[in-house]
Chains A and B, each alone.
Chain A
């Protein structure tokens, strides 16, 4: 093969440079929004005494699930507190919640667009596949170029990795609304927006919630990677333990992530079940 190599790497870097030079103010705005959200959540989560936060979670678990979930939540969070990982775990939670909130805010409308137009769906499907399969480390680099080190590029890369399920399942949920119901809504003279808000979204809620649940889980799986570019939190402890070869510390921090993951997963699943029951 004597064909010259396609200079793909050069192209990408040229694009990166161009974006950095020309869209700087735009990235600053995004950075301010994301940074503000993470810090705001972080201030609340770490500003309040650990026991208050634990109590809030336990009540939420009690309300959504049963006493078993409440008990697990209480014990799990107390273990984290006991291991001395409360602060970093709350930092991680702030990061994950920010990524999840932004994913929902962006992902649900995109999912709705995809559901309403086959052309949009055809554009987004390969894009989402690309976002999910491209190794996450690869888009850490441009994220750092645009947003510098810290929590913001961590949130950005978490969003890129975690947003696809929300988009896909919003699209699916709306498309799965039975044709006869859509027909009925049309037959009574609904406008497209009335149809969306009075019929399609309410019926799609359980499916959309399942997507949000996956988005949260995926962004949690990004915390260790995000810590490599300076996102603080419990992921940082894992990363440090790995580089220093300290199995015990790594295990403790890993356990904190697992506990947080299980609690968030069960809580959002309970929300899914509730919405399913309603419809």
Chain B
């Protein structure tokens, strides 16, 4: 279900900003409008839909308008034109009081430089949003403590922000944003000021929190790795316009234009692509078949081994041509000769986690889902092809595998 929906949402800075609207509709560039009218295009006719429970990443370099765009969503910056719907209600038509209620109850925010109030303790910071709603002291303290616990900072409630490290301060920022339990959390470059290791921890924790709490998160970043890591959907911005919206895979594999292509060309694909992207259809045989059938299958399909599965495709083991021949001579079943120790991984594992697994083993890596059913197989050649960015064929391959 769509929770936030933007239609031609636009922000122009300068005197008489409406003047630039027809020019934008004519397709004038940001530069040309600035030259001719002295008006600065902040956000140019942004169209997007954010689904409930999604992490929606808005990515772009500095000056691309991403911080402006996120501020249009809670009207910290007033949009010039366009439409913004929250659960179907028009946010831009709200009066001052309705807007305050929307900010208090529906949409929280976490800031790049934390923006904690220096004269308030950690717990007073977290309960700020509850305090302005007029929730009584005891209740709001309870709620704030709950939120503090969620970010793992219990025990620090009476510290002042300046006594905490950057990472801890941003946890407080996050707790403050979550305290009034908003449906949507806006995070404006929330982790950009943190050093890389802490940043990665925070990303992990955010993902964990999101799984637990099912918040809709709008996450602003200039860091592609971060976007790919946490985003369900990524909107890539340039000069105030959204250039492409898609899943991380779509952005990487089907860049909409040269700009996106250049943006993503340095990405370490092994940290983005998963086993499901590189896997191929696995040749299988059900366990009730005999060794003679197995050998026939191998001959027909031109392979030297088969995965042994039960009728529900649950992976049981692997049988090679030698194994099958031996079984035939000794009149045994497949069950007796198959190798039960097979390298296995899940469809979501990143390729870079597979390197070690694949380097050591002669066998390909089987991909099984969490019920143990065989989904496909990853061979070395396919991994290399995926890393080489052999995009479209791979995506197609991935899709057909999933349907198989």
B133 touches A186 (CB 8 A): no
B residues 79-102 near A (Cβ < 8 Å) are: 99-102
CA distance A112 to B314 in the complex (A): 73
Choose, from B124-132, B223-231, B362-370, the stretch at the interface.
Answer: B124-132
Q: How far is the CA of A187 from the CA of B67 in the complex (A)?
A: 14
In the complex, identify which listed stretch (B111-119, B211-219, B271-279, B394-402) lies at the interface while the others stay far away.
B111-119
Which residues of A sit under 8 angstroms from B112, Cβ to Cβ? 180
Interface string of A43-57 (1 = CB under 8 A from B): 000000000000000
The distance in angstroms between the C-alpha atoms of A279 and B116, with both chains bound, is 12
Chain A contacts for B108, CB-based, 8 A: 187-188
B115 touches A184 (CB 8 A): yes
Instruction: Let me know if B111 and A180 touch, CB within 8 A.
Output: yes
Which residues 250-286 in B have Cβ within 8 Å of A in the complex? none
Inter-subunit contact A188/B119 (CB<8 Å): no
A199 contacts B100, CB within 8 Å? no
Whether the Cβ atoms of B117 and A181 lie closer than 8 Å is yes
Whether A190 sits at the interface, judged by CB under 8 Å, is: yes
Docked Cα-Cα span, A26 to B213, in Å, equals 63
Q: Is A16 an interface residue (CB 8 A)?
A: no
Chain A residue numbers with a CB within 8 Å of B199 are: none
CB distance from A15 to the nearest CB of B (A): 39
Q: Interface code B147-175, partner A: CB below 8 Å = 1, 0 otherwise?
A: 00000000000000000000000000000
Residue in B closest to A181 when the chains form the complex, CB atoms = B115
Please report the C-alpha to C-alpha distance between residue A13 and residue B32 in the assembled complex, in whole angstroms. Answer: 60
Residues of A within 8 A of B101 (CB): 189
Assess whether B109 is in contact with A184, with CB atoms less than 8 Å apart.
Answer: yes
**CB < 8 Å neighbour of A187 from B105, B109, B119, B133:** B109
Expressed in whole angstroms, the Cα–Cα distance for A185 and B113 within the complex equals 14
Please state if A189 and B129 are interface contacts (CB–CB under 8 Å): yes
A198: chain B residues at CB < 8 Å are 128, 131-132
The answer to whether A188 touches B118 (Cβ under 8 A) is no
Within the complex, the shortest CB–CB distance from A251 to chain B, in Å, comes to 45
Nearest-Cβ distance from residue B17 to partner chain A, whole angstroms: 20
CB distance B100 to A191 under 8 Å? yes
A202 at the B interface (CB under 8 A):
yes
Residue of A with least CB distance to B109: A187
With an 8 A cutoff between CB atoms, is B103 at the interface? yes
**B117 A184 Cβ-Cβ under 8 A:** yes
Contact A278 B119 (CB under 8 A): yes
Q: Considering the complex, give the chain B residue whose CB is closest to the CB of A275.
A: B119
B103 with A186: CB separation less than 8 A = yes
Shortest Cβ distance from B390 into chain A, in angstroms? 44
Interface residue count on the B side (C-beta < 8 Å): 27
Partner of B133, one of A178, A189, A279: A189
B76 is an interface residue with CB less than 8 A from chain A: yes
Query: Is B305 located at the chain interface by the 8 A CB criterion?
Result: no
Least distance between A57 CB and chain B CB atoms (Å): 29
Knowing A186-B76, A188-B104, A189-B100 are in contact, say whether A180-B113 is a contact too (CB < 8 A). Answer: yes
B241 within 8 A of A: no
**B54 on the interface (CB 8 Å rule)?**
no
The interface on chain A, measured as residues whose beta carbon lies within 8 A of the other chain's beta carbons, has a size of 19
Q: Which residues of B contact A178 (CB under 8 A)?
A: 115
B-contact 0/1 string along A185-224, CB 8 Å cutoff: 1111111001000110011000000000000000000000
Cβ contact within 8 Å between A279 and B104? no
The verdict on A189 contacting B131 (CB below 8 Å), with A180-B111, A181-B117 known, is no
Instruction: Tell whether A183 is near chain B: CB-to-CB under 8 Å.
Output: yes
Is B10 positioned at the interface, with any CB of A under 8 Å from its CB?
no
Chain B residues with CB under 8 A of A190: 100, 132
Q: Which A residues are CB-close (under 8 A) to B233?
A: none
Task: Report whether B111 and A184 are in contact in the complex, using a CB–CB cutoff of 8 Å.
Answer: yes
Supposing A187-B109, A188-B128, A189-B129 touch, asked if A180 and B115 sit within 8 A by C-beta, the answer is yes
Known A187-B109, A188-B103: A199·B117 in contact at CB below 8 Å: yes
Query: Once the chains bind, are A279 and B103 in contact (CB under 8 Å)?
Result: no
Q: Which of A183, A189, A203, A278 contacts B104 (CB 8 A)?
A: A189
Contact B115 A189 (CB under 8 A): no
B132 and A187 contacting across the interface, CB-CB below 8 Å: no
Which of B102, B116, B128, B132 is within 8 Å of A191, CB to CB? B132
**Residues of chain B with a CB closer than 8 A to A184's CB:** 109, 111, 115-117
Bound form: Cα–Cα A191–B180 in Å: 17
Query: Which of B99, B113, B116, B129 meets A188, CB within 8 Å?
Result: B129
- With the chains together, A190 CA to B176 CA distance in Å? 14
Contact of B119 among A186, A191, A279 (CB under 8 A): A279
Residues of A within 8 A of B115 (CB): 178, 180-181, 183-184
Q: In the complex, given contacts A184-B116, A188-B129, what are 17 additional A-B residue pairs having Cβ atoms less than 8 angstroms apart?
A: A180-B111, A180-B112, A181-B115, A184-B111, A184-B117, A187-B74, A187-B76, A187-B108, A188-B108, A188-B128, A188-B132, A189-B100, A189-B132, A189-B133, A190-B100, A202-B119, A279-B118
Chain A residues with a Cβ under 8 A of chain B: 178, 180-181, 183-191, 194, 198-199, 202-203, 278-279
Can you give 25 A-B contacts (C-beta < 8 A)?
A178-B115, A180-B113, A180-B115, A183-B111, A183-B115, A184-B115, A184-B117, A185-B128, A186-B76, A186-B103, A187-B74, A187-B76, A187-B103, A188-B103, A188-B129, A188-B132, A189-B102, A189-B129, A189-B132, A190-B100, A191-B100, A191-B132, A194-B132, A198-B131, A279-B118
